[in-house]
Amino acid sequence: MSLNLLKRELEKDVLEFDESKVKHEVKLTKKRKKEKKTANSVFNDTDYTKEDDFTKQCLRNIGLLDGNVSVASDKIVKYNHKVKRQVKPEAARSNAAEPSIFTDE
């Protein structure tokens, strides 16, 4: 064989090798992308039917808060009586003892 033929065959083989290498790299990148996508998906396995019971803690906290607050309802009761007009004004009570102008005496 001549030297030129050997060079041509060598170049042909090198081109084929490069093409196969590129194809292989493309396949690997596709495979890696698929692996990354499947690795990122995580399923939620938490059981929402079971709930923690915080009743005792809540009752304890409510007891602590109730112990800190002192409430006097006198003002509230007086206000409600006044708004609902259950309390007669003091001026009307004092005038009740005096005789009225319109009565016959």
pLDDT confidence of residue 42: 75
User: In 3-state terms, what secondary structure has residue 62?
Assistant: helix
Q: Averaging pLDDT over each range in 6-10, 28-32, 57-61, which range is the top one?
A: 57-61
* 97, pLDDT greater than 70: no
Nearest in space to 86 (alpha carbons), one of 75, 73, 74, 77: 77
Whether 99 and 105 have beta carbons less than 8 Å apart is answered as yes
pLDDT at 1: 65
Q: pTM, whole model, 2 decimals?
A: 0.28
Mean pLDDT of 43-66: 88
Residue 100 CA from chain centroid, whole number: 70
pLDDT one-digit tens code per residue, 11-33: 999 999 888 888 888 888 888 77
